[in-house]
């Protein structure tokens, strides 16, 4: 089997968590599986890729561009993974991305006929987004939520651990009624629930290769993209004396960014903060909305003296405002912990150009 699946879905829906869980599940029971993290930063280390590798998953990254526009690079990566004995490879796309059905699936099929087995085009959604869509409260992001779902052969309602049975059934029914072309499954990537069904759907199913009209590049697309920005920062934090609590530091950093974004009247669909120390211990926190709590995704087990940090943020916020808020948070929080920072990389991107 040389199966390839695109895992799409909005920022914070759980693509990375799901790919990590599936990579582990499939590798333990069925055959070697690998994941690819994709995002737009130029020559950056992605927090998702580093996190997956630190966690022991077979993982790699494609950066500088959406995989939509690098068919050759993607095909080369897939070939080398299949040569190494991997059978199932999954790649995400940037969380605000649409169009991978046309650009990736049809691109691979046309340029490399018969070379790759394409799994059902898979789109993750979390309960909060279903709620927004059900209420018609998607606002300026509604186009993206809807266009992503329109592309799906397989819609995966993730984070079902947050739902009771009644609500889960109601969400599944709503998704089936509104996206009748897609198969709909429920999972909890965090708890590992529903992975068997998802693994089977990807390995046994095939892509429909439908060509839905999602209005790619049109007014609604441009309007939704215009407000979005990304920021990538990589730095080292060294404490001058004794040690410090890496978990508290990451939590304070994410809280400071959240407060800054809130005060500026902006939104942050996803802030990822990953840090690791020379011995291999690591911690990660995630913030998926200014109205939500910061989540500790992985805790440092021991106090730290020297950490490398990757901060990746996707926001509905002008790129320069996002950068100023994050820089302010880095400075104030490092003062609190008496850290000396060395910034290796900082890149801000405005999606609207």
Ligand X SMILES: Nc1nc2c(ncn2[C@@H]2O[C@H](COP(=O)(O)OP(=O)(O)OP(=O)(O)O)[C@@H](O)[C@H]2O)c(=O)[nH]1
Q: Near ligand X by CB under 6 A, which window of 155-163, 196-204, 319-327, 331-339? A: 155-163
Q: Near ligand X by CB under 6 A, which window of 70-78, 98-106, 154-162, 202-210? A: 154-162
What is the secondary structure of 298-348 as a DSSP string? E--SS-BSEEEEEEEEEEES-HHHHHHHHHHHHHHHHHHHTEEEEEEEEEE
CB of 191 to ligand X, least distance (A): 6
Q: Which of 297, 305, 321, 327 is in the footprint of ligand X by CB under 6 A?
A: 297
Beta bridge partners, 272, equal 286, 312
The residue (of 18 and 208) whose beta carbon lies closer to ligand X is 18
**Buried (b) or exposed (e) across 284-314, using 16+ Cβ within 10 A?**
bbbbbbbeeebeebbebeeebbebbbbbbbb
Q: Near ligand X by CB under 6 A, which window of 5-13, 109-117, 196-204, 338-346? A: 5-13
Four-CA torsion 66, 71, 75, 76, nearest 10 degrees: -80
Helices (H), the chain: 15-29, 47-54, 71-83, 100, 107-111, 127-135, 142-150, 165-178, 195-204, 219-226, 246-263, 319-337
Examine residue 286 and tell whether it contacts ligand X (CB under 6 A): yes
The residue (of 94 and 99) whose beta carbon lies closer to Mg ion is 94
Examine residue 188 and tell whether it contacts ligand X (CB under 6 A): yes
User: Nearest-CA neighbor of 307 among 257, 260, 248?
Assistant: 248
Examine residue 146 and tell whether it contacts ligand X (CB under 6 A): no
Residue 2 token pair: 């040389």
Question: Are the C-beta atoms of residues 199 and 25 closer than 8 Å to each other?
Answer: yes
153: DSSP letter = S
The residue (of 15 and 24) whose beta carbon lies closer to Mg ion is 15
The residue (of 160 and 271) whose beta carbon lies closer to Mg ion is 271
CB of 184 to Mg ion, least distance (A): 21
The residue (of 98 and 339) whose beta carbon lies closer to ligand X is 98
CB of 56 to Mg ion, least distance (A): 17
CB of 182 to ligand X, least distance (A): 18
Q: List residues binding ligand X (CB under 6 A).
A: 9, 11-17, 48, 95, 158-159, 161-162, 188-190, 270, 286, 288, 295, 297, 314
């Amino acid at each position: 089997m040389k199966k390839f699946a695109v895992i799409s879905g909005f920022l914070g829906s759980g693509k990375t968590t799901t790919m990590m869980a599936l990579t582990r599940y499939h590798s333990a029971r069925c055959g070697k599986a690998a994941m690819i993290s994709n995002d737009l930063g130029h020559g950056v280390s992605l927090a998702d890729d580093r996190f997956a590798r630190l966690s022991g998953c077979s993982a790699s990254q494609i950066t500088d561009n959406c995989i939509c526009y690098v068919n050759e690079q993607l095909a080369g990566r897939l070939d080398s993974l299949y040569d190494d004995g991997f059978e199932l490879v999954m790649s995400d796309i940037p969380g605000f991305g649409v169009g991978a059905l046309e650009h990736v699936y049809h691109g691979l099929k046309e340029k490399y006929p018969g070379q790759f087995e394409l799994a059902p085009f898979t789109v993750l959604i979390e309960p909060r987004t279903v709620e927004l869509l059900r209420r018609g409260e998607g606002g300026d992001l509604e186009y993206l939520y809807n266009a992503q779902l329109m592309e799906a052969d397989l819609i995966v309602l993730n984070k079902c651990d947050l739902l009771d049975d009644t609500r889960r059934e109601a969400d599944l029914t709503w998704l089936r009624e509104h996206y009748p072309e897609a198969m709909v499954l429920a999972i909890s990537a965090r708890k590992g629930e529903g992975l068997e069904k998802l693994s089977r759907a990807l390995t046994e199913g095939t892509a429909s290769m439908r060509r839905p009209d999602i209005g790619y590049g049109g007014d609604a697309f441009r309007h939704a993209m215009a407000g979005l920005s990304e920021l990538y920062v990589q730095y080292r934090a060294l404490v001058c004396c004794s040690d410090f609590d890496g978990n508290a530091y990451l939590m304070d950093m994410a809280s400071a960014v959240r407060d800054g974004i809130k005060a500026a009247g902006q939104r942050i669909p996803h802030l990822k903060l990953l840090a690791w120390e020379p011995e291999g211990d690591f911690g990660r926190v995630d913030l998926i909305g200014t109205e939500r709590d910061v989540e500790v995704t992985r805790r440092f087990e021991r106090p730290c003296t020297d950490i490398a940090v990757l901060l990746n943020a996707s926001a509905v916020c002008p790129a320069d405002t996002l950068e100023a808020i994050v820089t302010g948070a880095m400075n104030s929080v490092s003062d609190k912990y008496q850290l000396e920072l060395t910034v290796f990389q900082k890149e801000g991107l405005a999606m609207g150009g």
